[in-house]
């Protein structure tokens, strides 16, 4: 035994105690970087519970305001609103109606929690009867006709008090169209968080159940990007920044950490990672079976997103994480 050479370097020395590990830790995250997505239902008869997303509920406008107040109190700085309108049509009128569900929720949240940052998703899929993110003409998604409606949606959200509008339809030119429309209407300070690299992903399944937004025909592959392409994500981000995006997002998160890393190295703009519905559901399902330690897994995934290079972290676990951090029993 004494014949064996002693290791020259002992990395375990710096792992010996919590204080040592804290001193050499390379990556940290904070509740102050989390964004909680919320689903708002216009029709109070719409079911609140979402079977594939335990712990997340479809909220009425009043409940959304109350939830925003709780989140603010817990130190979560921002919410991202998605709407479930009581009716849908071919032109997605509910998306840009001044009394639309998200617009009403924006006003209610601003009144309840004035310092909370309120973000609104800008897309048509929850509002169209066909479930696509843009206008359909002769069975195809019409890019430029969609731009007009997306710009109108963003302006009506800004008018209702949105601090941040987040275009997610993946139409070419959507960020530029929205920036122009916002500026024209006097909303120069409204921030744009672009879903820049949004992939045609099966991880959105539970969201589409929650928001009743699955496409009624075809799929989203002609506008959401191919998960196989990394360089194309960098082109999307570069274009959105040129068009005026303030924040850029990559989504989903865990299966795309290489893209977050590549984007971090290429661009200096703040970068958001969106841990989407399917990522949440996977963790919840395993946790419900007692197969994993939910808190440890969630914290590990947030660390991974930060280590890859994300600044802002969008997660359905935001409220729970804030509670864990505070040491609440739940
Ligand atoms: C709207 C939108 C979707 C998500 C965010 N914005 C659904 C989709 O593109 O089908 C997915 C979010 C999630 O899965 O948590 N277009």
Spatial distance between the Cα atoms of 62 and 112, rounded to a whole number of angstroms: 10
Q: Is 251 a catalytic residue?
A: yes
User: For the chain, how many structural domains are there in total?
Assistant: 1
Cα gap 275→293, rounded to integer Å = 18
In degrees and rounded to multiples of 5, residue 257 shows phi and psi of -65, -30
**9 occurs within a structural domain:** no
123 with 94: CB under 8 angstroms? no
Instruction: Report the pLDDT value the prediction gives residue 152, as an integer from 0 to 100.
Output: 98
Atom 14 (ligand 1): residue with closest C-alpha?
204
Class of residue 158 by CB neighbours under 10 A (exposed 0-12, middle 13-18, buried 19+): buried
**CATH label of the domain that carries residue 157:** 3.20.20.70
Ligand 1 midpoint to CA 227 (Å): 15
Q: Please identify, by atom number, the ligand 1 atom nearest to the C-alpha of residue 224.
A: 9
Instruction: Assess if residue 19 is contained within a domain.
Output: no
Residue 295 located in a structural domain: yes
Ligand 1, atom 2, residue with closest C-alpha: 168
Tell me if 49 sits within 8 A of 92, measured CB to CB.
no
For ligand 1, the distance from its centroid to the CA atom of residue 277, given in whole angstroms, is 8
pLDDT at 1: 60
Residue 18 lies in a domain: no
Containing structural domain, residue 194: 29-326
Check residue 327 and give its pLDDT.
Answer: 87
The Cα–Cα gap between 49 and 41 comes to: 11
Q: Is 133 in the pocket of ligand 1 (CB under 6 A)?
A: yes
- Which residue has the least CA distance to atom 5 on ligand 1? 168
Asked whether residue 253 is domain-assigned, the answer is yes
Q: Which helix (H) or strand (E) holds 247?
A: strand 247-251
Phi then psi for residue 225, to 5 deg, are: -85, 160
With respect to residue 173, please indicate whether it lies within any of the assigned structural domains.
Answer: yes
In angstroms, how far is CA 57 from the centroid of its own chain? 16
Catalytic, 88? Answer: no
Does ligand 1 have an atom closer than 6 angstroms to the CB of 174?
no
Give the single-character DSSP code of 309. Answer: T
Question: Could you report the per-residue pLDDT of 34-68, keeping only the tens digit for each?
Answer: 999 999 999 999 999 999 999 999 999 999 999 99
Residue 316 in contact with ligand 1 by CB distance below 6 A? no
Does residue 17 lie within any of the structural domains? no
- Contact by Cβ (8 Å): 223, 133: yes
Strand partners, 88: none
Locate the DSSP E strands across 161-246: 164-167, 191-198
pTM for the whole structure: 0.97
In a domain, 102, yes or no: yes
Q: What is the pLDDT of residue 329?
A: 55
User: Which residues in the chain come in under a pLDDT of 70?
Assistant: 1, 328-330
Percent of the chain residues topping a pLDDT of 90: 98
Tell me, using a 6 A CB cutoff, whether residue 104 lines ligand 1.
no
Cα–Cα distance for residue pair 275/297, rounded to 1 Å: 13
């Amino acid at each position: 035994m004494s014949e064996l050479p002693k290791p020259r370097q002992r990395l375990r020395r710096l792992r010996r105690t919590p204080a040592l590990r804290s001193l050499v830790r390379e990556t940290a995250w904070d509740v102050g970087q989390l964004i909680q997505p919320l689903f708002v239902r216009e029709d109070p008869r719409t079911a609140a519970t979402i079977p594939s997303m335990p712990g997340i509920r479809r909220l009425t406008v009043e409940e959304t305001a109350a939830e925003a107040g709780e989140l603010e109190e817990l130190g979560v700085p921002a919410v991202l609103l998605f709407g479930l309108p009581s009716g849908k049509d071919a032109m997605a009128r509910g998306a840009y109606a001044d009394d639309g569900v998200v617009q009403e929720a924006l006003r209610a949240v601003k009144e309840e929690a004035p310092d909370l940052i309120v973000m609104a998703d800008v897309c048509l899929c929850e509002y169209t009867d066909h479930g696509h993110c843009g206008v359909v003409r002769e069975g195809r998604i019409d890019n430029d006709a969609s731009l007009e409606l997306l710009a109108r949606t963003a302006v009506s959200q800004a008018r209702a008090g949105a601090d941040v509008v987040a275009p997610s339809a993946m139409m070419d030119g959507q960020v530029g169209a929205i920036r122009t429309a916002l500026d024209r209407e006097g909303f120069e300070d409204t921030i744009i968080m672009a879903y820049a690299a949004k992939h045609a992903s099966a991880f959105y399944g539970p969201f589409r159940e929650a928001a009743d937004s699955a496409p009624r025909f075809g799929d989203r592959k002609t506008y959401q990007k191919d998960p196989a392409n990394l360089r194309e994500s960098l082109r999307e981000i570069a274009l959105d920044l040129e068009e005026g995006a303030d924040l850029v997002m990559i989504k989903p998160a865990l299966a795309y950490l290489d893209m977050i890393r590549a984007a971090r190295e290429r661009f200096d703009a703040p970068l958001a990672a969106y841990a989407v519905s399917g990522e949440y559901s996977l963790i919840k399902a395993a946790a419900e079976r007692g197969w994993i330690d939910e808190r440890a897994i969630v914290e590990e995934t947030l660390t991974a997103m930060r280590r890859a290079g994300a600044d802002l972290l969008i997660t359905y676990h935001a409220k729970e994480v804030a509670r864990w951090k505070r040491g609440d029993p739940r």
